[in-house]
Amino acid sequence: MKPIIVSIVDSHAGARQKIAGQLKADEGFQCVSQFDRAEDALEMLPLDRPDVVLMEIQLDGMDGIECVRCLKTRMPEVQVIMLTTHTDAESIFAAFRAGANGYLLKPQPPRKLMEAI
């Protein structure tokens, strides 16, 4: 069975590395790229062609919600799960309006994250 291809967009290197390690440990997933800035992700994700993007809201420069909005115009088929610490209803609603397919709070136990993906 083909693994689910995942990319991570998060400004915290430790969070990216932890999630990538969790994905690597499960043969059903492959992490193809990690980005700390939305602008870099928007440039490279169309080349990486992930099935799922894990997106933080709080990023340096463009925020994750705007990144989702731009990404969905370029890659409407990609699934985006917001993986963030933001719990306010306004952020959650804005993420879904921008095109997010899911919303999870950090940190998540590895099994819950894999199930969501």
Instruction: Please write the tens of the pLDDT for every residue from 20-48.
Output: 999 999 889 999 999 999 999 999 999 99
Cβ-contact 109, 82 below 8 angstroms = no
95-110 pLDDT, tens digit each: 999 999 999 988 888 8
C-alpha closest to that of 80 among 56, 46, 48: 56
- Burial class, 66, CB count within 10 angstroms (exposed 0-12 / middle 13-18 / buried 19+): middle
Q: List pLDDT tens digits, range 45-87.
A: 999 999 999 999 999 999 999 999 999 999 999 999 999 888 8
Cα–Cα distance measured from residue 99 to residue 54, given in angstroms and rounded to the nearest whole number: 13
Alpha carbon distance 83, 1 (integer Å): 26
What predicted TM-score, i.e. pTM, was given to this entire model? Answer: 0.94
